[in-house]
Structure 1
């Protein structure tokens, strides 16, 4: 097979894709899942964490909000490290910080040790800065141009799966015992499970996860390798300057920030929203969050497939943004009707569209900023989003406490409507697709390589 391909490629640039690219993607999805699980694991059982550690709800909220704070603080040094040291370095840092954070929380078994929980959560939050911005970089480094949007969606799938498990497992593992020490024992079991899960995955990244394939998968990547610039602070600063002068990117980053801020807020506050309408319903809150994310994973994958075939990035972003706002209105109606089955249905529909926007938004940003580094673009998107996430989560939590869940959810609907409007004004410049046009003839002839 290689001889045949060699004859074909003698007169052409060497462009290949490797079947092991799917293993690389699976490894990434796995450690992303375990890291993202820890974002929501305490806030979904807020009432039980409050009982055991004797802290208030706003303090427990910081177990999730620490993830939002880490992004704006660390995005620039983390993006510089990723651009300078590459994909393998980012994968190693992300996987091992996840493992270290999980290990730290094993020492939080004691009612006066909530600060240890926050330290562990902060370390995991730092790991996310090196994890969540990688899907577009993995996609363009290892995959065909015709697979890039689907792969980006599958990368985001790892985050969604982790959050889904974060909604599902903590309420199942940690029960509402009369004896608070039994609650602490359950929390400790949850922490041990996480630590045991991440250890072999981190070792797999160490021994198997390479920097890049021997040959690039696209003409754009080939040109990128041939014209590769040594990354130093000056080069990195110039790349940031280009992004901040890109009007389309700035408008889109604002819109993306609004959407992801709602994603963060609903994940952090869902337990409190549901308990305000249904007493002792923390397990229902977990299952509702699970439905939201599981259906959402389907949405994120479907939008990736659609974008690979249509390349209608702006249109897809507007549609899913608008439908997120409408379905959130349905969720509010179901809450006011105090109908659990309606809540399950509407939060599932809401999750479908909210999650579909995450990969669609990243792909749209990559298109309008090409050839800027994908990890830097995604990192800035998430940083802006997390700033909004912290502000909106705190504000919506205060509204929920002082005025009620109705007004808190209504505020989220209004934010989504604003995001839909600003997306309509984002210039639709598809720079990356122009570069990918060069690859179409090559990929009709070059098969996958067994490796």
Structure 2
């Protein structure tokens, strides 16, 4: 997430808004060389520094688990798709994270539409979303570890994400950048803070299935929704403007709230979650 924050901040500085195509191409090439250099350095560090596995297992539960084979993973995936609670979570998680991806992808375009020439501030707004989101992930994670209120916490954070998105939608065109910074920061706190909640909730809903499998499925769904939302929002912005495009996301976030509220066992009522006998995984 910190890398994404840097990605919002640095490119507008490296690539200024100029009309000369040759100069623009030069600045873009400089940015690409820097990105390529950093990626190459990280690749080398992965080869040299990263080990196949840690010296000691990260938890008691992990130490007693056998190695996961391909057939085991496939069987786990089939069982997970038969778990209605998990399917509801995957869809609601995908809607939230997909909306975040689309919003961040098209943020520059939407900001410039209402605040021409503010490319650098558009990057700073994106930085604000991510930094506030980093704080949100830490706070929500600590809260969940202490309270174990999985459904209640997830639902409250989802509702606050929707509220933040609605406020951002109807204040973007007011002509005050400081308002945009506040609304996007608040929205990012909850929208990004929801992400670790989804992984924690998935483990509770699917134990004793391998958490690596449930986490992988949670990662796939937002990519699908993110592509769909980005393409759709881009078309809506081109034809109708930024507000209808953001209302489009609000509609799907509302659907996500409904799916999150859908009946599940656990702290939200009904049968308790099947907890690991060795404690949190």
Normalising by structure 1, report the TM-score.
0.58
Is residue 225 of structure 2 the alignment partner of residue 383 of structure 1? no
Residues 201-212 of structure 1: pairs in structure 2 closer than 5 A: 201-212=42-53
Give unpaired runs (5+ residues) of structure 2.
267-271
User: Per-residue displacement from partner, 1:219-248 (whole Å, max 9, x unpaired)?
Assistant: 312221xxx15614x333211111111111
CA 1:217–1:287 in structure 2 vs 1: closer, same or farther (change >3 Å)?
closer
Specify the SS of the correspondent of 1:412: helix
Deviation of 1:181 (Å): 1.2
Deviation of 1:333 (Å): 2.4
Structure 2 equivalent of residue 59 of structure 1: none
Structure 1 equivalent of residue 169 of structure 2: 332
Residues 163-242 of structure 1: pairs in structure 2 closer than 5 A: 163-224=4-65, 228=66, 231-232=69-70, 234-242=71-79
Specify the SS of the correspondent of 2:277: helix
Specify the SS of the correspondent of 1:435: coil
Give unpaired runs (5+ residues) of structure 1.
1-159, 440-451
Residues in 2 aligned to 1:276 and 1:385: alpha-carbon distance in whole angstroms: 26
User: Per-residue displacement from partner, 1:159-208 (whole Å, max 9, x unpaired)?
Assistant: x2122111111001101223211111111111121222233332222222
Q: Contact between 2:88 and 2:259, CA under 8 Å: does it hold in 1?
A: yes
Residues in 2 aligned to 1:386 and 1:294: alpha-carbon distance in whole angstroms: 21
Deviation of 1:351 (Å): 0.5
Is residue 243 of structure 2 the alignment partner of residue 402 of structure 1? no
Deviation of 1:403 (Å): 1.4
Pairs aligned (count): 276
Is residue 272 of structure 2 the alignment partner of residue 435 of structure 1? no
Q: Contact between 1:317 and 1:423, CA under 8 Å: does it hold in 2?
A: yes
Residues in 2 aligned to 1:286 and 1:214: alpha-carbon distance in whole angstroms: 41
Q: Contact between 1:299 and 1:353, CA under 8 Å: does it hold in 2?
A: yes
Q: Which has the higher contact order (CA 8 A, sep 6+)?
A: 2
Specify the SS of the correspondent of 2:111: helix
Residues in 1 aligned to 2:79 and 2:175: alpha-carbon distance in whole angstroms: 50
Residues in 1 aligned to 2:214 and 2:13: alpha-carbon distance in whole angstroms: 37
Deviation of 1:298 (Å): 0.6
Residues in 1 aligned to 2:99 and 2:184: alpha-carbon distance in whole angstroms: 13
Deviates more, 1:359-368 or 1:165-174: 359-368
Specify the SS of the correspondent of 1:318: helix
User: Per-residue displacement from partner, 1:110-155 (whole Å, max 9, x unpaired)?
Assistant: xxxxxxxxxxxxxxxxxxxxxxxxxxxxxxxxxxxxxxxxxxxxxx
Q: Contact between 1:168 and 1:286, CA under 8 Å: does it hold in 2?
A: yes
Normalising by structure 2, report the TM-score.
0.91
